[in-house]
Structure 1
Amino acid sequence: MNEKLHKLLARSGYGSRRDIEELIRQKRISIDGNIAPIGARVDSKSSIIRIDGRIVKIVNEDEEICRVIAYNKPEGQISTLKDKNGRPSVFDRLPRLDKGRWIAVGRLDINTAGLLLFTNDGQLSNGLLQPSQKIEKEYMVRVFGNIDESKIRNLVNGIKIDGEVLRFEDVVYAGGEGMNHTFYVMIRDGKNKSVKLLWESQEVTVSRIKRVRFGEIFLTKDMPKGAWKELDLKSINYLRELVSLPPEKNTLIAPDLKRGKSKVQKIKKAVRRYENKLVKDSSSFKSSTRSKLRHKK
């Protein structure tokens, strides 16, 4: 069956359609030994497709099981796969896949914590990231400064920043003391740093941002920071319905199992071991760097 190359590779978990199109433009994909052109169509059963010279494993539509995991991102992790400065990545803690790879549904800034979704389905990721979807996201924000009703009205009515009008759908006060305040804000439009930019436009300092909801997917109490949880079929099909994809019928997890306290404690211990390893690796790297600098002198 002939189908578009970028659609086939996205379904097989090699990135979103946009990611695949960029790889094609960079001439990193070949079909049967020839550089793939933009808009190429392939036979999924007979064509040999390579990315950077490596043969890819194609997942046919009847074989694919759509998976989605929710991850509680700590502050200090980058949302990209690799970093030239060696900073820890959100991908470091994710489970391994036999085929394809995890695709992040958007990004969170390095200093932003909270809910981040990943899927092995490029079509789903691409659909959820379309600006036209206007999926509501909720953040907990701590700010320092003078806040009055006029500033809240500004945030809800909209503010033009870098040529784009940004606004919160709703702003809910959650308490505070002195000039320290906590709010929950809902936003549909905008990119990664919109929440911070909106608050800073009102001359307050943002001390913490944490995403707690993506659409109807919530960051739950059984997910300590640095932990991930695979979503059940009901949640996956809610996301698929948002982007007009057919429902998934299969899952790799038992239906609707709740995590007990002992399970959460085990997750916390695993996260602490990972964090301790990062500290140890960082210390070794710094010691090695200092040693090299001394030799150069």
Structure 2
Amino acid sequence: MGSRREVEGWLEAGRIKLNGKVASPGDQAGEGDHLALDGKVIHLDAAMMPERRVLIYHKPVGEMTTRKDPEGRPTIFDQLPRLDRGRWVSVGRLDFNTSGLMILTTDGQLAARLMHPSRRLVREYAVRLRGELSPEAVEKLTTGVRLEDGPARFEEILDGGGRGQNHWYHVILREGRYREVRRLFEAVGATVSRLIRVRYGPVELPSDLPRGKWRELKPGPVRALMDAAELVPEAPLAEAPTQSTGNPARAKKTRRKRPASPNPD
């Protein structure tokens, strides 16, 4: 009936009543409850409730992660399967020039909990720099630098190798501030020429999922996300057809050193 922000506005304005009382954020309603918006009864039944679906999308450079762009640029939502009920909610964002893993779900509560700073879920990126980091720069980036919105650091930096002026690193952090990876490298004078998100929490970007394609997660990975969000599955878990062809996009995982990206140019 509206976006999350619209409904939150209705709640703040007291326009929604649950069982005769003004509803508040966090109230739950289901079959048998009396729900009304501006005095108009909303009939609840199981058929209205969208299935909990979760998919991953390999975002290419050049797409926005907003639903609509004022400049008319393509968005990730243009590529996603259409829903009969509910809507896709993205778990975090990637900027226009960043590619890689996006997680999308029909469960707004799941998305909100996965993004909440208290969860401290791992975000891992493959980063191509122009040149190598000095030991001093690595030390500074892992102990902390001060950005305009507060201190920040990488939890780990793994050397991925490279050739010429192109050198790859894998970096891990547990928050998702705006352009944080790029700003951290800029703070030590390093220039990022390519940035790919390869992991978010327990979900990794599959090596065989091409850019611009999506894949529905199976119940096992969805339950792993639910566990990471500390949510108990209530809605049914659904599966959908997959789209899966293409080139590897992730370096093989190691503890201390990573090989170069499959696409080092």
Q: Same fold (TM over 0.5)?
A: yes
Q: Deviations over 1:160-206 (max 9, x none)?
A: 10141111111111112233211111110241311000111111111
Distance 1:190 1:99 in 2: 29
Provide the residue aligned with 2:24 in structure 1.
39
Q: Which of 176, 195, 200 is residue 186 of structure 2 equivalent to? A: 200
Letter in 2 for 1:142: R
Structure 2, unmatched stretches of 5+, are 247-265
Distance 1:43 1:15 in 2: 17
SS in 2 for 1:240: helix
Provide the residue aligned with 2:261 in structure 1.
none
Is 1:151 the counterpart of 2:137? The answer is yes
Letter in 2 for 1:39: S
What RMSD over aligned residues (CA atoms) do the two structures have, in Å? 3.2
Q: Which of 171, 178, 181 is residue 185 of structure 1 equivalent to? A: 171
SS in 2 for 1:104: strand
Provide the residue aligned with 2:122 in structure 1.
136
Distance 1:180 1:43 in 2: 54
- Contact 2:144–2:153 under 8 Å retained in 1: yes
Provide the residue aligned with 1:232 in structure 2.
218
SS in 2 for 1:181: strand
Aligned counterparts, 1:73-222, within 5 A: 73-222=59-208
- Percent of residue pairs bearing the same amino acid type: 35
Letter in 2 for 1:264: T
Q: Deviations over 1:220-243 (max 9, x none)?
A: 022100000011111111111122
Structure 1, unmatched stretches of 5+, are 1-8, 266-297
Between Structure 1 and Structure 2, how many residues are aligned?
239
Letter in 2 for 1:226: G
Structure 1 residue 31, shift from structure 2 partner: 4.1
* Greater helix content: 1
**CA pair 197-59 structure 1, distance change in 2 beyond 3 A:** farther
SS in 2 for 1:97: coil
Distance 2:148 2:45 in 1: 41
Distance 2:197 2:216 in 1: 18
